Structure 1
Amino acid sequence: MTRHLGTGERIVGTEALHGGTTAEMRRLTIGGPGGGGTRDLVLRTFVDAEHAEDWLHREADALTSLAETGVPAPARVAVDPVAEQCEYPSLLMTCLAGRTVLDDEGVRLRLPVLARHLVSIHALRPVERPRDYVTLTTADTVVTPEAADAAAWAAAIDVIRGPVPPWEGRFLHRDFQPGNVLFEVAHPSPSGPRITGVVDWAGCSWGPADLDVAHCSTVLALLHGPAWGLRFAEAYEEAGGVLAARASERLYWQVRDGLACSEEVRSVARPWRAAGRTDLTARVVEERLDAYVTGLMNALG
């Protein structure tokens, strides 16, 4: 994709970025003509993904739509969904300031900031609405962790056997969670954590706000402990967000996302350990998922 660089620019350095589960991410340092200044771009590459072309089209379209909003998302530079110019399907975009923060320290302050930002995303009304959301998990594909509370999991599985609750459409990120949110760290604001960017828009969809809230809740539960996952929906409402009116409807979406994670616990935990959270072994994450699903059934069931 070097033909999309400016006249006289060239790639002078690359750095692998951690955290991705479906694609490889690299920061490209671009040198200016005549040895001038540098700028950074990010190359997102799908090396082995069956739906790479679809994901890249969706993400590129989402970035185009977001360019006219106040949501801090990367700007699209170039996209090669079928690997005509690159070795693999790829997306080139601008590099945002900040970094992901996965540590337990400071989660109490970050939680309401995450909630407020998600409310602002759900308030967007793009000219071209993205496709409706898709969920792949079924009652028959759920993987109950070893030593899990069998009764709680059986009850949770029964929840998603039921009909899909009615929902009001919202603009969804579909993977809004700490691993896809960048925070300002170089010069932290005295007023508290500040988000500098939201990345990975490949799953951008149209659907119920509950779905995004449920996903972020699940990830918070696995990263920081079940109590934080159970708290996030409250923080979302405190920030002005609107969820399903009935507790049973909210439970459906929360449980659906928690159970979906059961099928990919090991792949979810791996990039967290690579990013420094070596305490998050597959066993620990499975235990937290069990505690979270059980907590949902106890609190909302």
Structure 2
Amino acid sequence: MTINCRWFTWCALILVSATGCSESSSTHEGDAHDAPAAKAHKFSGEHPLKIVATTGPVTEMVRRVGGDHVTVEGLMGPGVDPHLYSPVAADVRKLSDADAIVYNGLHLEGRMADLFQKMSRNKATFAVTAGLEARHDTRLRATPAFDGLYDPHIWHDPTIWADCAADVAHELGEFDPAHAADYQKNAAAYAEELKAVDQFCREQIARIPADRRVLVTAHDAFSYFGKRYGVEVFGLKGISTEEEKDLKHQEEVQRMLLERKIPAVFVESAVAPRMVASLVEPCRAQGLDLQIGGELYADALGAPDSDAADYGGMIRHNAKTIADALSREKAGE
């Protein structure tokens, strides 16, 4: 991974300010990890809290849980790949000026992880997934291909995402005790909405014949979705879009498509479509009527005018797109 010199300069500047604010801090560099930090800090300014979040789903969650007591600015807009995101100077300033920072964690924002860990010394900084790790949640997917770390794409299971919202409510309540009850109430209301999203997904996937519940996409982002709804998932790349494409793996996926007569594969909104498209012609040449089933939102929300502009819309869009494409007349018949 190559990071330019300006990024090191920005990091150095912000880290100096972050670590220089308090000589009494007992946190050491080797102790930094993805964990809630709000408990070490209490908000003493004027409301609303100014929060900076990373991805679209995280930004929306914090807005919903925080309600009128917070203003939230997201760093990563529609179509932005968090695996590849490199902060600019303006991002570092926003993080420095914020009352609190909320991010996904599980190394999704890998290029920013060190900065978050450093800033947590003097600022409420926490990952929405930290509670899952602390509880050793058995739904977390460990994968050796990702250096033994957990798959970070947990938002593709709405039931896990609802639990993360409850954790965010707890952390905001620790940081801002005066409004803790409101945060918990907002998180509970959000969780009720996510129950409806979960049910919608179940109904959509039930439309697909069992032998065709196979999802092929650009990278391995949908395993939580697959586990929740009984869909086999194949990514041409691994957990991170930074990984190189494995040609042998692609050939294996191609053979699987042919043998099982799967009718569609799917492109992703934040990944160039050519990688998935490269499967189509070889399969068609061997008699399989393979189609691009549509565009899925793997790592980012859709544009404001799209049906995937919010979290619920994104998950619903993905489930319906998958179901529509895989439930069509079986390929090759």
Give the TM-score taking structure 1 as reference length. Answer: 0.31
The structure with the largest helix share of the pair is: 2
**TM-score, normalising length: structure 2:** 0.29
- Bigger-Rg structure (1/2): 2
